[in-house]
Structure 1
Amino acid sequence: MLAEVLTENGANVRIFSPRRPKSRILAKFGLSHLQQTLSMRRELRHWEPQIVVSNGTLGFFGRNTWKHIHVFHGTMVAHSLSDRVGRSFKDWLIKGIFGGGLSEAMSGIGATRVAVSQSCAAELKKYYGYRAHQVIPNGVRLNSDVEQIREGLIFVGRRESRKGYEMAVELAMAVKQSLSVAGPGDDPRTRNLGVLDETELQELYSRSKAMVFPSNYEACSFAVLEALTNGCAVITTKVGWIPELLSAVPEYERLIGQRNNQASFELPLQRVLSGDAATMSALEAAVSWTRENNSFERFSREWTDLINEHND
């Protein structure tokens, strides 16, 4: 999406991907990200770019001639702390918190740091000891063809414990509703749609009653933004970008549950399914605010301004 914004503004954009690390020792200690970054640095020096935009754990380039912007879509430390299910303690600690966290923290050194939400900016200060220079939330394309008649519950994304997948399944069963899942994998308890493209997702959101998304950790979920901008109620937790929504639309608390607390989601879900007037009013306000503040057009303007500042 960012590459598209830059290209539309006349920039010559190239996307670099890391090569597979060769050092088993670095991989053992969760530091293969650093080796991948150094490999990309050699390629970048050959190309001699004016500005480099990096993200995640790949961005520690050291001293170079280009201007550097690093985007944080959350932090590896907070991500790892939110979920240990299915990971050994060694893998979780070394590759997640130590290796991933160290590589990510180093990526922000000397760069203009952009966070995708206020909560993400707070994580940078808490875990890495530096501030975000700017917060630019994710943006999504707006769909003008939004259905008025809606039915069914959906879950969008990977079937991970961090995202509350099992809880979403159990909640749908508790209210005797089928759950359609857009994402990889298969489950006999759900209607499995597979991985959908952007158009198919837009159609799914626009005809669905609610997205059940009891996630333990997000920074600024595209699925949440896409659902809301298409008028689909999102039953979720107070993580990531959601506190910013609640600051603007406090009445949306009616659709919020507590992390790792299935019972706390039952009332919000029943409110949506029954068409409770106060809940529908809160949803309408949230949809309006999200369409105004998280559109692709606004995302494009904010990134264009930031890039122009670095070109001066």
Structure 2
Amino acid sequence: MKKLKINFWLQRHRKLLVFVMLFVALYMIIVGMTKMDFCALTENAGLFGVVGTLLGAFIGGLFSLMGSIWVNNKQQKAAQNIKRKNIIYSPLYDELINIQNNILEQNPFPWYIEFKKGPQTMLPHPQYDAWRRIRSDTRHLEVPDCLKKQIEKLESTIHDYIEYRYKANVEVQTILNNTLSENGLSKCEIINIGEVLSSDILENKKIDFYNKAMMSDDNIDNDRKNIFNEEILTKCNENMIIIATRKRYYAWCEVQKQTIEMLSIMIKQILLKYEA
């Protein structure tokens, strides 16, 4: 392990080591020349020519080596960054932009979110899979720390939202059935009625909650139904769990937009610097 670490350190600092070695060699030549009898050197045209040729060859070789190292490093850096864009940044960006601009437009305040790819539901739900695949192989070693922290922050806000989203389903169902009982009406028989109504309530939509929820033979007039629907929406809007769920949804969307912007900048920088 120690030998491996030493080899890694030498590989990582190879440019510095090359320059140090060249500097030492040049220094030794200069010191050697200063110790020579300069007058005797200039009087001996042959020796002077040999020394001059060697010194010129050394300096020329030094600059040539430095140039080749610079060109090689630039090519390697370009190839590495283009590869990073193609296998890390682009898959993450494409997935997030699709969720933000397509899926959440069709299905805001989703109650079902997956962190894997699978069969889509009739109403599409978010599926976060790209980061899981990247994190499971060597690509994870190439991800910049700033992006890792941003993805972790995004996932944290998603999990926070999911926790409250399920609570919101329970709250909506409880409020609905309590309001039905208070108005002398039968309780809703739909087991997952909270899931059915909660998205509309979280969006603050004024819809006919009564007709959407009830399967019984209770007949009420339109005025009474409108009052009931207003009462449901008002109670839900005053409920702390509903308020907290909305807050966490908007926090998730904001962090997701920030992550998309970060990835967009990273991709554009590579395109501009290496592919323009």
Q: TM-score range by the shorter chain?
A: under 0.3
TM-score after normalising by structure 2: 0.26
Greater share of helix: 2
More strand by share: 1
Q: Structure with the greater relative contact order (CA < 8 A, sep ≥ 6): 1 or 2?
A: 2
